[in-house]
Amino acid sequence: MKIISVGTMRRLEAGAVESGTSEYRLMRRAGAGAAAVIEKYCSSRFRRAVFFCGGGNNAGDAIVCAGLLNIPHVVIFTRPPDTFKGAAAEAYKEFAPCLNTVPLEEWDFERGDVLIDALLGIGFKGGELRPSLEKPLKMMAESGKTVIAFDLPSGLDGDSGIAAKGTPPAALTITFGLPKQGLFLNDGPRFCGKIAVVPIGVENFDCPGALPYTFFTGSDAARLMPGTSLDAHKNSRGRVLLLCGSTDYPGAAVLASKGALYFAGLVRTISVQCPNMPPLPAALIARLLPPDPTGALPAKALEMASDMAEASDVLCAGCGWGSHVSPELLKSVLKFPGKVLLDADALNLLARHPGLWNYRSDVVLTPHPGEALRLAQGFGINAGGSREEFAARLASRLGCTVVLKGYHTCVAAPDGTVSVNSSGGPELAMAGSGDVLAGISAALGSQIKNFADAARVGVFFHGAAGDAGHGAVIADELPRLAAQCSHLQTWW
């Protein structure tokens, strides 16, 4: 999904109107889509939606949303709705009878309220916020309530991403049509929270001047997710080998294996014999080798289990290796004839021994920011600029796909394409989360031909699993949640 400027969005809307779609019809789609997102987001966590409405089309979107919402709502107008014009006036005319409106001066919050910021939309061009907005913005900021922004948080410039003083941070931003570039630049990521995109019918129009990277959403994941034929068998659904773990980190092999098992037909794991090894899944084909004197996998681990390597399509290596593993093990990993995913300690080892790198395009690297910085230092890569630019430089220099983990994980392919993931958030910042992602992505790589696409899908469902946990999830639960999300197809 393209990421566009405010000007491009206005041209898309004008083009839709010229093609016969009324402005109010676009607003109706926006409001209805927002209502669906809010109902899903609120679930059992919130009891009532409180709308703060300005005077433009953002307010019209909110009116439609409130009128269609299947949970209790309150609408607070900061200007008389009888002064609305155009599509916003049409929205008020249709839905006024079913709106529960309250004057700003008489309002007080209740337990279970979620606030909807519909004061300003894409029309704000930076600078200072109007004095008339000071009170509602202050009320939102001081309430301690969760805020959902419509299109953009009020006070965030949709082009530059610079936030004015008083801009309320949102937990979720529902943006209409296509995401605006300000959500990803400067202050944007800090103020917009998670991003849900509601289609309004302009998404397939030409978008000259879009940002050089895209936004990867649930619809993209659904399009790339492989189907399963009725005559499928375990060998036709992907064969994955995991080379993970050490006596210090035996759980990494278990977590990566569980992640892979939900997305592949056959999963084999090579790890170390360890008295504190957590129980392995019964469906897993495992071979536990004697560790070397440091507790790491032996340097010839792949040779010792060559039959397992020969029967696998994708190799996932590095999870839980520890810092003592031999460079010879990485050298043998990079000679694996199928696709290879390197995570965690395999990346740190590569950064220390860049001469081992053989510039394979069928490799995916999954560094967190610290590991990415070490790779950049090891290979002499400039680590400056945005996350998207940094990921692109890593992928270009190394000639492979790079998954730069973090908020809005970036996936950069060697062909120069970069995508920003739409799912997940800080709830994924926990021990073992990366091991699960590695297993899921490797398994998808055994079924999806383009390994970069497999990584994008894996990142999305891993993030969706975090979202599904509603802030109360541990890494052990992510594989099952990710698999459920991959079948529900009800993401934002």
Sequence-separated (6 or more) residues with CB below 8 Å from residue 491: 217, 218, 221, 423, 460, 464, 467, 485
Give the chain's domains with CATH numbers.
6-211 (3.40.50.10260), 223-488 (3.40.1190.20)
Q: Confirm whether pTM is higher than 0.85.
A: yes
pLDDT at 489: 55
> What is the per-residue pLDDT across 171-216, written as a single tens digit (0 to 9) for each?
999 999 999 999 999 999 999 999 999 999 998 888 888 889 999 9
> What is the per-residue pLDDT across 400-459, written as a single tens digit (0 to 9) for each?
999 999 989 999 999 999 999 999 988 999 999 999 999 999 999 999 999 999 999 999
> What is the per-residue pLDDT across 113-171, written as a single tens digit (0 to 9) for each?
999 999 998 989 888 898 889 899 988 988 999 999 999 999 999 999 999 999 999 99
Nearest to 84 by CA among 95, 74, 73: 95
CA angle 313, 249, 265 (to 5 degrees): 25
Q: What band does 289 get if pLDDT is binned at 50, 70 and 90?
A: very high
> What is the per-residue pLDDT across 74-110, written as a single tens digit (0 to 9) for each?
999 999 999 999 999 999 999 999 999 999 888 888 9
Buried/exposed code over 87-112 (b: 16+ C-beta within 10 A; e: otherwise): bbbbbbeebeeebeeeeeeeeebeee
Residue with tokens 């949970």: 71
| Mean pLDDT over each residue of the chain, to the nearest integer | 94
Q: Which two tokens stand for residue 119?
A: 């004061």
Residue with tokens 């394409």: 417
Nearest-angstrom CA–CA distance, 19 and 33 = 22
